[in-house]
Chains A and B, each alone.
Chain A
Amino acid sequence: MFQVRIHGRGGQGVVTAAELLSVAAFDSDLHSQAFPSFGSERTGAPVTAFCRIDQRPIRTREPIAEPDVLIIQDPTLLHQVDVFGGLRPSGKVLINTTRTVEQLGLGELLERSEPPTLLTVPGTELAREHLGRALPNAALLGGFAALTALVTIEGVERAIRERFAGAVGAGNVAAARAAYEFVADEVAEVAGA
């Protein structure tokens, strides 16, 4: 089983991101389960959502305490909330930011014995460019597809279009595609290094 935890703030589409990811996994004929951290959502408050992906039906329903992958939609959470709590050894982290891992002050994470793969993607900027709004969730899913190959970018695009019609759907798809390519380049760089 593969477990994803998404951190962001109310209004950034955190719960929608987990749901779209589960639809993209369904598109690849996988079983998946998306659910929010239950609470009274308020705009700007830290929000967490979860997605499990597996080849067989998923039975467990507890919150994800030990994720394989983290998606950080809002980098201002990095030093406010324990977003890295329980991250599995050699896990993967995708952070929405224009800064580098070093600039974010996360260098010490890389000094762990089995360090995570930390990648960044300017999701908000890509969303502004392609969607005209600072909503990075769909773009980050494109990045996720490149980072994990667990879902396909086509699956992510179909999931987005199924949820958002017209220009909003098209803009989100373009942002996801751009983020996919951005992260794919980073992954190739890491593999080549």
Chain B
Amino acid sequence: MLRQIEGSRAVGDAVARCRPEVICAYPISPQTHIVEHLSDLVRTGDLERCEYVLAESEFGAMSVAIGASAAGGRAYTATASQGLLYMAEALFNAAGLGLPIVMTVANRAIGAPINIWNDHSDSMSLRDSGWIQLYAETNQEAVDLHVQAFRLAEAVSLPVMVCMDGFILTHAVERIDSPAQEQVDAFLPRFEPRQMLNPDEPLTIGAMVGPEAFFEVKYLAHAKQMQALDLIPEIASEFERGFGRASGGLIRGYRTDDAETIIVALGSIMGTIEEVIDELREEGHSVGALAIKSFRPFPLDEVRLALGAAKRVVVLEKALAVGIGGIVSANVRMALSGIELDGHTVVAGLGGRPITGRSLRSLLLEALDGGLKALTFLDMDAELVDRELRRAGSGAPPGPHAESMLREIGIVAASSH
């Protein structure tokens, strides 16, 4: 059914169609309308046979999800930012135990400084937790990916994070084709747990494993993610057949076929990028774009195939690996090992800095001219950074950086852009 609806509410409805049996969440900031909406649906009885558990923290929320999943229930939660970090220990456990939990991450920045706006620092910091990570380009895709995520998680017995840009997607109201219950029921079979705690037949889940087998048990998660590389496109094709629209998959190219320069990105920035690619194509430039939709598992072969014939690859990423630069680009370069091309890392949009079509256009034109540096910080005020570094190096105790830099730009406290 076509509706004009907020991204969070649309995702909440889609999760409800997946018939989760336990939803647990910690309700304060950073949180989204997704779990708020789901708690309403449980309260009003619209979502039946589901227990909504209010946890005391994100660590508690993920622990409840682990318990629920181990007891054979289909479990779901959502979080973002510091909330995801607070879950970190439990995330590794969920993956190591092979529990098919689905979680939405409404991507937001990580402090300090305190910031509630969008970037990918949260999910990127937990990319190696063993969870599958899928990134939605649009709210429609976020909706569709949740339906696919339960199917994928339960097929490979691994937890799946559906990452959608906080605010940019979660708070945007737009046209969504909401999956109907019958469609989802036909696509997503009942959860058949591969392991289940049962008081009548006691067993242990999560035993201690010493050096004699830890390595092998740990490796299983990797083996399953390699299976997921085959399953993700299969599930996406089946979804397309059942629902009549393409969503998900490992990667998606946009006008990449003969492109000499390809920009690579994850998530909702792809829409703005496509507009810029169309403009530049019309002006005769040979450019294209590649969306990476599955970041874990990372589709090395598909990325190599999509980018290998290009002369130049620009990876735009919404996270910063302090001390080296890019995270996504390191993975992309691994996919391209042995291939000679110009590679560029562009860090953009940190802490909610808008990524505009105008800036992307200048960036790509600079790349086409051969003038783009290996590592670029899009629309960062380098002058402000330099002034602060000089001030801090002047000998006197510099005091806190954030407060001083806000004073420099004439703002007394963080405000919206």
Residues of A that sit less than 8 Å from B by CB: 18-19, 22-23, 25-26, 31-40, 47-48, 57-63, 65
Contact of B167 with A60 in the complex, beta carbons under 8 Å: no
Q: How large is the interface on B (under 10, 10 to 19, 20 to 34, 35 or more residues)?
A: 20 to 34
Interface residues of B in 291-322 (CB under 8 A from A): none
Q: Smallest distance from the beta carbon of B298 to chain A beta carbons, Å?
A: 25
8 Å CB contact of A32 from B4, B275, B416: B4
8 Å CB contact of A60 from B117, B357, B417: B357
Sorted nearest first, the 5 A-B pairs with minimum C-beta distance are A39-B416, A59-B271, A26-B4, A38-B167, A34-B173
Contact of B116 with A40 in the complex, beta carbons under 8 Å: yes
Q: Smallest distance from the beta carbon of A151 to chain B beta carbons, Å?
A: 12
Contact of A59 with B171 in the complex, beta carbons under 8 Å: no
Q: Smallest distance from the beta carbon of A144 to chain B beta carbons, Å?
A: 16
B415 on the A face (CB < 8 A): yes
Q: How far is B114's CA from A39's CA once the two chains are assembled, in angstroms?
A: 12
B168 on the A face (CB < 8 A): yes
Question: Assuming A35-B167, A38-B117, what are 15 further A-B pairs, CB within 8 angstroms?
Answer: A18-B173, A34-B174, A35-B171, A35-B172, A38-B116, A38-B171, A38-B416, A39-B416, A58-B174, A59-B275, A60-B357, A61-B271, A61-B272, A62-B354, A62-B357
Residue of A19, A25, A31, A59 with most partner-chain B CB within 10 A: A59
Residues of B that sit less than 8 Å from A by CB: 4, 6, 116-118, 167-168, 171-175, 268-269, 271-272, 274-275, 352, 354-357, 414-417
Residue of A34, A48, A60, A65 with most partner-chain B CB within 10 A: A60
Q: Smallest distance from the beta carbon of B1 to chain A beta carbons, Å?
A: 12
Contact of B174 with A59 in the complex, beta carbons under 8 Å: no
Which residue of chain B is the closest to A23 with respect to CB atoms?
B4
Contact of A62 with B272 in the complex, beta carbons under 8 Å: yes
Chain A neighbourhood of B354, CB < 8 A = 62-63
16 contacts between A and B (CB under 8 A): A25-B4, A31-B174, A32-B4, A32-B173, A34-B173, A34-B174, A35-B168, A38-B171, A40-B414, A40-B416, A58-B271, A59-B272, A59-B274, A61-B172, A61-B269, A62-B272
Q: How far is B415's CA from A65's CA once the two chains are assembled, in angstroms?
A: 17
Q: How far is B415's CA from A18's CA once the two chains are assembled, in angstroms?
A: 20
Chain B neighbourhood of A25, CB < 8 A = 4
Chain B neighbourhood of A40, CB < 8 A = 116, 414, 416
Chain B neighbourhood of A60, CB < 8 A = 271-272, 275, 357
Binding site secondary structure of chain B: loop
Contact of B173 with A19 in the complex, beta carbons under 8 Å: yes
Chain A neighbourhood of B118, CB < 8 A = 38
Q: How far is B269's CA from A19's CA once the two chains are assembled, in angstroms?
A: 21
Q: How far is B355's CA from A48's CA once the two chains are assembled, in angstroms?
A: 18
Q: Smallest distance from the beta carbon of B320 to chain A beta carbons, Å?
A: 20
Contact of B417 with A33 in the complex, beta carbons under 8 Å: no
Contact of A37 with B6 in the complex, beta carbons under 8 Å: no
Given the known interface contacts A19-B6, A23-B4, A26-B4, the answer about A36 and B271 at a Cβ–Cβ threshold of 8 Å is no
Chain A neighbourhood of B175, CB < 8 A = 26, 31-32, 57
Q: How far is B9's CA from A34's CA once the two chains are assembled, in angstroms?
A: 14
Chain A neighbourhood of B172, CB < 8 A = 33-35, 61
8 Å CB contact of A65 from B116, B173, B356: B356
Given the known interface contacts A32-B175, A60-B275, the answer about A37 and B168 at a Cβ–Cβ threshold of 8 Å is no
Contact of A61 with B352 in the complex, beta carbons under 8 Å: no
Residue of A26, A31, A35, A36 with most partner-chain B CB within 10 A: A35
Chain A neighbourhood of B6, CB < 8 A = 19
Q: How far is B117's CA from A35's CA once the two chains are assembled, in angstroms?
A: 14
Q: How far is B117's CA from A32's CA once the two chains are assembled, in angstroms?
A: 23
Chain A neighbourhood of B272, CB < 8 A = 59-62
Q: How far is B354's CA from A22's CA once the two chains are assembled, in angstroms?
A: 22
Contact of B174 with A32 in the complex, beta carbons under 8 Å: yes
Contact of B271 with A37 in the complex, beta carbons under 8 Å: no
Which residue of chain B is the closest to A39 with respect to CB atoms?
B416
Q: How far is B272's CA from A44's CA once the two chains are assembled, in angstroms?
A: 32
Contact of B417 with A63 in the complex, beta carbons under 8 Å: yes
Q: How far is B292's CA from A154's CA once the two chains are assembled, in angstroms?
A: 42
Which residue of chain B is the closest to A36 with respect to CB atoms?
B171
Given the known interface contacts A22-B4, A22-B173, A26-B175, the answer about A61 and B268 at a Cβ–Cβ threshold of 8 Å is yes
Q: How far is B224's CA from A182's CA once the two chains are assembled, in angstroms?
A: 65
Contact of A37 with B173 in the complex, beta carbons under 8 Å: no
Residue of B4, B6, B174, B272 with most partner-chain A CB within 10 A: B4
Chain A neighbourhood of B416, CB < 8 A = 37-40, 47-48
Chain A neighbourhood of B417, CB < 8 A = 37-39, 63
Given the known interface contacts A38-B117, A38-B167, the answer about A62 and B4 at a Cβ–Cβ threshold of 8 Å is no
Q: Smallest distance from the beta carbon of A7 to chain B beta carbons, Å?
A: 12
Chain B neighbourhood of A19, CB < 8 A = 6, 173
